Chain A
Amino acid sequence: MTSKTDQALIQKAFQERMDEDELMNCMRCGFCLPSCPTYIESGQQEAQSPRGRIALMKAVVDGLIEPDEEVERSLRLCLGCRACEPVCPSGVRYGHLLEEARDIIAQHQRMPLHIRLVRKVVFAGLFPHQERMRKAASFLGWYQRSGLRTLVRKTGLLRLLPASFRQMERVLPDVPTAKELKNRPHRLNPDGSAKKRVAFFAGCLMDTMFMTTNDATMRLLQLAGCEVIIPPAQGCCGALHGHGGEKELAKELAKRNIAAFEQLDVEYIVTNAGGCGAFLLEYGHLLKDDPAWRDRAAAFAARIKDISEVLVELGFHHLPLRVAPQTVTYQDSCHLRNVMKTAAAPRRLLQAIDGVEFREMKDADRCCGSAGIYNLVEPEMSMKILDYKMEMAKQTKATTIVTANPGCLLQMKLGIERAGLTESVRAVHLVDLLLEAAEGAQAAKEEERIRQTS
């Protein structure tokens, strides 16, 4: 509960900081409503729609209402998937409004001690520090391998956790060992002659819990003919902070990344996680009020490109690619699609693989309900959205669900488990499947050669 005094402070901050022009640009036509997952899943509640949320933000600015529990609830329940932005004829940048509003509320809210502690650990203690991320991951890896996991699961200790955390524990990937969690090389050579020089944004979570996917990404870039630079000074992108109401921390992280990459003579800064990519792409907006950084941020953002776009540009889909016959469907990462505007490239790559029968699922572009830590903090809405998604996935009869963002990947694994499909369906990151296909084609070629010579 936010006290009356805090509400007054929040209201004042809204009046000072919210972009009034942007709020007024919403002409309330309602074109965003059918694209909004929370509007649909809440049974068409206007307060759970982008139009409703903008109206509430504006009403707080106008002094028509106080930022009470209902307003907070409405803003909290937004996934931040930004599906409303591409369909908005007026071009309202809803994501920016939401980010600002959430930051204001978070900064003025008196949260319970345990939540403050968790936020402090996650936002300041863990994510900005890659060596601590590695330690945490190696602890998780130890938990998974030492037999402790089996013990914990058997003794029912997990029941002490909320259901949402319990479910997440089950689908976490097997983390590399402490030894495998290595420091990155700083530079990789292309296979063959260099077509392009690119930098790789390794991320924090991606480079620990999903290290193999990062390895695969760099391998693909090499196969496609890229010289890859991996600057060691880079770190967490800050998306979690930006979306979670910790804008100042996000800015610090942004500056660190800009500095780490700006001297490099590379054409693109390649990302493999839609959530990170979209946030990096918006560094210019994040630092718009900082004259010393504004232009540097914009220059950085202009070089951000998703791996799938880079691969298509380099003709990777013309290389031999092969997997065992399977039906594949693709789940868009919201931020990759709605902010980075990348939707065709991943599909094109998938369709180029021999053995893949690609089937588009209905509403592939609707959020899966993962949305950062949304699935942990708003499990009820998240699971409603996920269950719809799995129903659509089931209809395609796909045995492989491909995503392009770690959060979506975990959520799909969770969905597969909830739908009782663990035996028949797998979820993979696009780059992992692509590497599997490139190596598959290589192995097939090798086999063919052996057959011919024997």
Chain B
Amino acid sequence: MIPNEAKKRLIQIVGAENYDDTKAGRLVYSYDATPQFQSLPDAVVAPRNTQEVAEIAKICNEYRIPIVPRGSGTNLCAGTCPVEGGIALLFKHMNRILEIDEENLTATVQPGVITLDLMKAVEEKGLFYPPDPGSMKISTIGGNISENSGGLRGLKYGVTRDYVLGLEVVLANGDIIRTGGKLAKDVAGYDLTRLFVGSEGTLGIVTEATLKLIPMPETKQTMLALYQDLEAAARSVSKIIANQIIPATLEFLDQPTLEVVEDYARIGLPTDVKAVLLIEQDGPNEVVERDMKKMADICRSEQAVSVELARSEEEAEALRTARRAALSALARLKPTTILEDATVPRSEIAKMVKAINEIAAKYQLKICTFGHAGDGNLHPTCPTDARNREEMERVEKAFEEIFAKAIELGGTITGEHGVGAMKAPYLEWKLGPAGIAAMKAIKQALDPNNIMNPGKVFAKSTRKRVVVTR
């Protein structure tokens, strides 16, 4: 509950129209795209500028009210679920592209800008902002930064982190700080920019960001390689990289995923093969030609049954859109879709795919696998039904084994979705007690009262998948 005094002061800052504590108003900010998680905020607050955010932080710090910053709520680790209540902080008013600097190749934006809108705006100037999370049509830049979102181009271009040059951040005590700037080089002290990127709103509230842009590649080609053997597809991935080709996109979809994606997209994807690779290269014409030819040869040498180039940009875009929708399309199979985000070094892709299939068989589950094969980031996904408790327990155990296997292969428990509330119980597997302690020390220093998105990253208990409601 928000004390009356605090409520009054919050309304004074943002205005009554930007403060909502009706039951329905709170309920619609009680979830994000994470299956199963749901918890009500005590109020929903929509500030109009950085100064207001700072004032809000001060009040919340004083009254120990949790703050959960929220973009479009598309994240998959319960990062925007207010698991300990407090206020859901919306950025719908702070959604302007402040500047596109063509001399320095940077864009300065407010956190509420939709990722695709930024991409389009810079494209108009012949520039390119590569991070492209699957939900880019609706996800916000602020959310991308907080979760350090990846996407289909991660292999060649990296992830959101690699494009954040500077930030304006409101700290828990209301201080406003600036990190980095329009600079390629900057070693003045600790790299706070990198610290805040991917900190999932637990260290501060990003209120402005300066992003790196690059020139638009000259050309782009897309192809689809089809396989009757899952592991042959995975081997092709390792072999392409080992041949020193870094494609822009190297995506993997297995047969069950293909089927549901085709059911949604209806673009004529083959559904009678065991796996496909969606491969793209961009860059200068001759490089793209050469790389595409080489990759096609590699795929054929690994028993691809067919390798086909997209005939037009429309066709290529349809393929990419279909891939981006894979996760949600899997929800067609069963009422509940549990997806994970295990990542391994790309040389271990084949082993990981094999292990996932064995684990699925062991627990008698259907687990579909797709993902960013090129960067080793896989999304094993289990269509199930939350009402079937017995099966849910098997799902839980299966995924525990999958995470353990990923770590055993030198991988991690999440490659791009974040820890949030969902992976918190497993974080120590990856970091060890000392690693956790180091992170906690940073959190303690910046947010001593633990008001910034509490209940995320660090596990409070061993409790895992539950529907939390306040």
Residues of A within 8 A of B (CB): 21, 24-25, 27-31, 33-34, 43-47, 52, 55-56, 59, 64-66, 68, 70-71, 74, 88-91
Contact = CB atoms under 8 A, between A and B. Distances in A.
A89 B27 contact: no
B35 to A, nearest CB: 6
A25 B328 contact: no
A24 B24 contact: no
Given A34-B138, A90-B329, A28 B31 contact: yes
B328 A46 contact: no
Contact of A90 (B92, B139, B328): B328
Interface of B: 22-25, 27-35, 72-74, 90, 92-93, 114, 135, 137-139, 263-264, 325-329, 331-332, 335-337, 385-386, 469
A65 B73 contact: no
B247 to A, nearest CB: 25
Contacts of B29: 46
B137 A66 contact: no
A45 to B, nearest CB: 8
Contacts of B137: 31, 34
Name which of A33, A44, A70 has the most chain B CB atoms within 10 A of its CB.
A44
17 contacts: A24-B385, A25-B331, A27-B328, A30-B135, A31-B138, A33-B72, A34-B138, A44-B90, A45-B92, A46-B28, A46-B29, A55-B31, A56-B24, A74-B24, A88-B328, A89-B332, A90-B331
A89 B264 contact: yes
B389 to A, nearest CB: 15
Contact of B92 (A43, A56, A74, A89): A43
Contacts of A52: 28
B28 A56 contact: yes
B264 A27 contact: no
Contacts of A47: 24-25, 28
Contact of A89 (B22, B73, B325): B325
In the A-B complex, the 9 residue pairs with the smallest Cβ-Cβ separation, listed nearest first, are A89-B328, A70-B24, A90-B331, A24-B335, A89-B325, A46-B28, A52-B28, A44-B92, A89-B329
A28 to B, nearest CB: 5
A33 B328 CA distance: 14
B24 to A, nearest CB: 3
B27 A30 contact: no
B27 A65 contact: yes
B465 to A, nearest CB: 14
Which of B31, B33, B139, B331 is the most central at the interface, judged by chain A CB atoms within 10 Å of its CB?
B331
B138 A33 contact: yes
A72 to B, nearest CB: 9
Contacts of B469: 64
B138 A70 contact: no
A21 B388 CA distance: 13
A29 B328 contact: yes
Contacts of A89: 264, 325-329, 331-332
B74 A29 contact: yes
A25 B386 CA distance: 11
Nearest to A55: B28
Nearest to A72: B24
A66 B331 contact: no
Q: Which of B31, B34, B385 has the most CB of A within 10 A?
A: B31
B138 A30 contact: yes
A61 B24 CA distance: 13
Given A24-B336, A91-B264, A30 B23 contact: no
Contact of A55 (B23, B27, B326): B27
B24 A29 contact: no
A70 B31 CA distance: 18
B33 A59 contact: no
A65 B28 contact: no
A27 B328 CA distance: 7
A52 B90 CA distance: 15
A207 to B, nearest CB: 35
A56 B90 CA distance: 19
Contacts of B138: 30-31, 33-34
A91 B332 contact: yes
Given A44-B92, A90-B332, A31 B22 contact: no
Contacts of A45: 92
A24 B31 CA distance: 13
A28 B33 contact: yes
Contacts of A25: 331-332, 335
Given A44-B92, A89-B331, A90-B332, A28 B24 contact: no
Given A89-B329, A90-B328, A28 B22 contact: no
B91 to A, nearest CB: 9
A169 to B, nearest CB: 33
Contacts of B329: 89-90
Nearest to A44: B92
Contacts of A71: 24
Nearest to A22: B335
A56 B92 CA distance: 21
Contact of A28 (B27, B32, B332, B335): B32
A19 to B, nearest CB: 11
A52 B331 CA distance: 18
Nearest to B76: A29
Given A65-B23, A89-B325, A90-B328, A30 B335 contact: no
Contacts of A24: 335-336, 385-386
Given A33-B138, A45-B92, A89-B332, 5 more contacts: A27-B331, A29-B135, A46-B28, A89-B327, A89-B329
Nearest to B263: A91
Contacts of B24: 47, 56, 65, 68, 70-71, 74
A30 B139 CA distance: 9
Contacts of B331: 25, 27, 29, 89-90
Contacts of A68: 22-24
Contact of B327 (A29, A33, A88): A29
B43 to A, nearest CB: 14
Q: Which has the most chain A C-beta neighbours within 10 Å: B25, B328, B385?
A: B328
B30 to A, nearest CB: 8
A91 B72 CA distance: 20
Contact of A30 (B74, B332, B386): B74
A29 B33 contact: yes
A424 B23 CA distance: 49
